[in-house]
A and B are shown apart, each in its own frame.
Chain A
Amino acid sequence: MDTQTLTYIFVGLSFALYIGIAVWSRAGSTSEFYVAGGHVHPIANGMATAADWMSAASFISMAGIIAFSGYDASVYLMGWTGGYVLLALLLAPYLRKFGQFTVPDFIGERYYSKTARVVAVICLIIISFTYIAGQMRGVGVVFSRFLELPIEWGVVIGMGIVFFYAVLGGMKGITYTQVAQYCVLIFAYLVPAVFISILMTGNPVPQLGLGSDVVGSDISVLARLDGALVDLGFTAFTEASKSTADIFAITLALMVGTAGLPHVIVRFFTVPKVSDARRSAGYALVFIALLYTTAPAVGAFARLNFIGSVHEKPYAEAPDWVKTWEGIGLIAWMDKNGDGVIQYGPGAPFDGRASYTDDMGVNGERLLANTPTDNANEILVDRDIMVLANPEIAGLPPWVIALVAAGGVAAALSTAAGLLLVISSSISHDLLKKTFRPQITEKTELLAARGAAAAAIVVAGYLGINPPGFVAQVVALAFGLAACSLFPAILMGVFFKDINREGAIAGMVAGLVFTLGYIVYFKSPWFGATNTADHWLFGISPEGIGAIGMAVNFVVAGLVARFTAKTPLAVRQMVDAIRIPAGAATPTSTH
């Protein structure tokens, strides 16, 4: 069977599994729709959280980013895992004890204010839509590369599947589907990683293979990669090229942002007990760490393989995968010195994105219309192909490639579903039930939740098919906004009783305006600002500015709270109750 047939079978089987689970776990009440009735086992919740968390970006892009930026990529590895420590220690147990449905629920009740709740809903919706557009796109990309369908079709099929299980099953359906999706995605990630680790180092554990000696030599993978890169004129793989201040700020913003992302937090509302919330965050991180500690190995192996198979190789003898990905437009080669041999080095080989002419060169390569640069590098490679091309690069059998495709789709769908759910529950629960139409019945609220989920899917699909150039550039936005708004508001809500309504609202708005302003100033085309280190505040890039935004939030909230009316006694008692695990109730809608 060829790769494409196998891919159809693998992806088709995984879809059948997800739909089967959705039918089996339909939601019958708002409690089941929002928090799966609060009955999810901590291990199952850990797996669901891991699938929810690991998106198309983690599965497809991360190893590629590590491959091409080495140590600098540590910000993602530490940032996207360290946040779980904050979540488990500072937020999850208390939010579980609070025992409601959504993040704005907590902020609205703790700060006794509909305004605070609405500000939280606005933060949540901006964060979630920014994030979801990329997921839908991820589904489309996997479909287009492996099944040779147009990206639009891929997005529509993905929308259909998510529609089915998110609208029908709510949190309950999503949770059990995500458990299945985690299994698919982790298996798909580890199988090629283990194969490649054995091929390169003889060690079947990729995490150890990374430091092991390359087969037939006494030099470790990392040392050999450092040497090869320095010879070519790159920064060594294990050395930093960003400034320490920037790496520090980005890592902090990603950690805090992770802990403040609503679709992650809400997962801890689904477990039966406070102690389960802590344990479940631990399991989630174990499941995430399995992929995140493998990624550096995958990245390093891929870079070494890539250099070995293209540098100083005649194009005519280049491996098949180079030509396959060149055909799709993700690899481009310009024979600048006319020797028919591929030279690889630092810097862009030519100006701008690859723009192919319809002609073929003398070596059989696709000719380019771009202006060449004056460095020696001749090859452009899209870093997103590393995970997808890895099985081909290592010469693994077609079923491994099909498995990777199914894993990529699982990663994108599971994250999209989690995001859709928090968007729909914030609309039906926080805006409708708790703010504008408190008289509606549970049945109407459930209907509204399903309607909101359906509407959110359509918007997400539209964004996936027509990604606004701006959104693609501001992935930092989602993390920055969560770091500067939701995380400080929840943290102060639990740990500082003196922070009152006025302080919290002022803090969220100040953090949000500062962070959003900084990112838009540097990232949007409207101000013409130069996005380089010389122009940044304290040398901190827009990716890391959420860390400063968080500090702004804390300071403003503290100052405003000092000079305004004290937190009411009833709210102080509520905080006391949240701090004690005893007496946690299952969330119900009859409070």
Chain B
Amino acid sequence: MTVEKNPQSADANSTRYWRENVKLLGLLLSVWFAVSFGAGILFVDVLNKIEIGGFKLGFWFAQQGSIVAFVILIFVYTARMHVLEKRFGVSDE
């Protein structure tokens, strides 16, 4: 056993924290899927009919927009988890 046993590991608080985390993950990963596989691949032809700032929208998502969205997603997750960990008292800070 290399990881210290956490006395409160299996208690209700931890379980609720984990459920909230998984819910948040589901939400953020849906956005992850929508901007890349959705806008950049599956619906690219439809979105390409719209043109903004010299870019066909589908093409823009595939080569620029999805990458920007990925960065935002990670920082949103970091911020939300910070709040969640404080709320459940499981923060390491």
A: which residues have CB within 8 A of B?
A: 66, 71, 73-74, 77-78, 81-82, 84-85, 88-90, 93, 97-100, 109, 207-208, 210-213, 220-223, 238, 240, 244, 247-248, 251-252, 255, 273-275, 278-279, 281-282, 285-286, 289, 292-293, 296, 495, 570, 573-574, 576-585, 591
- Chain A residues with CB under 8 A of B44: 71, 240
Q: Mark B47-72, 1 if CB is under 8 A from A, else 0.
A: 01000011110011011101110110
Q: How far is the CB of A208 from chain B (nearest CB, A)?
A: 8
- Cβ contact of B59, chosen from A100, A238, A273, A279, cutoff 8 A: A238
* Cβ contact within 8 Å between B68 and A579: no
Closest 9 CB pairs of A and B: A211-B54, A220-B54, A74-B62, A282-B74, A576-B9, A238-B59, A581-B92, A296-B63, A211-B55
Besides A78-B66, A582-B91, 4 more A-B contacts (Cβ < 8 Å) are A84-B70, A89-B29, A282-B71, A576-B14
- Chain B residues with CB under 8 A of A578: 3
- Cβ contact of A583, chosen from B4, B77, B85, cutoff 8 A: B4
* Cβ contact within 8 Å between B37 and A74: no
Complex Cα distance, B57 from A71, in Å, reads 12
* Cβ contact within 8 Å between B66 and A247: no
- Please report the total number of B residues contacting A with Cβ < 8 Å: 52
A89-B1 contact, Cβ under 8 Å, with A74-B63, A82-B70, A248-B37: no
Cβ-closest chain A residue relative to B14: A580
- Chain A residues with CB under 8 A of B18: 579
- Cβ contact of A293, chosen from B4, B48, B64, B92, cutoff 8 A: B64
* Cβ contact within 8 Å between A580 and B64: no
* Cβ contact within 8 Å between A77 and B63: yes
Cβ-closest chain B residue relative to A285: B71
Complex Cα distance, B18 from A446, in Å, reads 38
- Chain B residues with CB under 8 A of A97: 3
Q: How far is the CB of B90 from chain A (nearest CB, A)?
A: 5
A577-B5 contact, Cβ under 8 Å, with A238-B48, A285-B70: yes
Complex Cα distance, B70 from A293, in Å, reads 12
A278-B64 contact, Cβ under 8 Å, with A573-B5, A582-B92: no
- Chain A residues with CB under 8 A of B60: 211
Q: How far is the CB of B18 from chain A (nearest CB, A)?
A: 5
* Cβ contact within 8 Å between B36 and A278: no
* Cβ contact within 8 Å between B32 and A573: no
Complex Cα distance, B82 from A282, in Å, reads 14
A275-B82 contact, Cβ under 8 Å, with A78-B66, A90-B25: yes
- Cβ contact of A573, chosen from B10, B54, B64, B93, cutoff 8 A: B10
* Cβ contact within 8 Å between A583 and B82: no
Q: Is the interface of B mostly helix, strand, loop or mixed?
A: helix
A282-B78 contact, Cβ under 8 Å, with A89-B28, A289-B67: yes
- Cβ contact of A238, chosen from B25, B56, B89, cutoff 8 A: B56
- Chain A residues with CB under 8 A of B32: 82, 85
Q: How far is the CB of A280 from chain B (nearest CB, A)?
A: 10
A to B CB contacts below 8 Å, 15 in the list:
A77-B67, A78-B40, A211-B54, A220-B54, A221-B54, A238-B56, A251-B36, A251-B41, A275-B85, A275-B91, A281-B74, A574-B1, A578-B3, A580-B6, A580-B8
- Cβ contact of B75, chosen from A211, A247, A282, A570, cutoff 8 A: A282
A279-B6 contact, Cβ under 8 Å, with A251-B37, A581-B90: no
Cβ-closest chain B residue relative to A576: B9
Which of B55, B74, B82, B93 has the most chain A CB atoms closer than 10 A to its own CB? Answer: B74
* Cβ contact within 8 Å between B56 and A222: yes
* Cβ contact within 8 Å between B53 and A292: no
Complex Cα distance, B2 from A570, in Å, reads 11
* Cβ contact within 8 Å between B41 and A247: yes
Q: How far is the CB of B78 from chain A (nearest CB, A)?
A: 5
* Cβ contact within 8 Å between B81 and A222: no
* Cβ contact within 8 Å between B4 and A585: yes
* Cβ contact within 8 Å between A286 and B62: no
Complex Cα distance, B9 from A284, in Å, reads 31
- Cβ contact of B40, chosen from A74, A109, A577, A585, cutoff 8 A: A74
Q: How far is the CB of A83 from chain B (nearest CB, A)?
A: 9
Cβ-closest chain B residue relative to A238: B59
* Cβ contact within 8 Å between B64 and A213: no
Complex Cα distance, B40 from A66, in Å, reads 15
Cβ-closest chain B residue relative to A220: B54
* Cβ contact within 8 Å between A289 and B6: no
Cβ-closest chain B residue relative to A201: B54
Complex Cα distance, B80 from A413, in Å, reads 36
- Chain B residues with CB under 8 A of A252: 37
A576-B73 contact, Cβ under 8 Å, with A244-B41, A251-B36: no
- Chain B residues with CB under 8 A of A573: 5, 9-10
- Chain A residues with CB under 8 A of B4: 577, 583, 585
Complex Cα distance, B93 from A372, in Å, reads 68
Cβ-closest chain B residue relative to A72: B62
- Chain A residues with CB under 8 A of B55: 210-211, 220, 222
* Cβ contact within 8 Å between B74 and A85: yes
Complex Cα distance, B55 from A221, in Å, reads 9
- Chain A residues with CB under 8 A of B70: 81-82, 84-85, 285, 289
- Chain B residues with CB under 8 A of A90: 25
- Chain B residues with CB under 8 A of A255: 36
A583-B36 contact, Cβ under 8 Å, with A248-B42, A274-B92: no
- Cβ contact of B93, chosen from A78, A207, A273, A285, cutoff 8 A: A273
Complex Cα distance, B62 from A577, in Å, reads 38
Complex Cα distance, B91 from A563, in Å, reads 37
Q: How far is the CB of A117 from chain B (nearest CB, A)?
A: 13
* Cβ contact within 8 Å between A78 and B56: no
Q: Mark B1-41, 1 if CB is under 8 A from A, else 0.
A: 11111101110001001100110010011001000110011
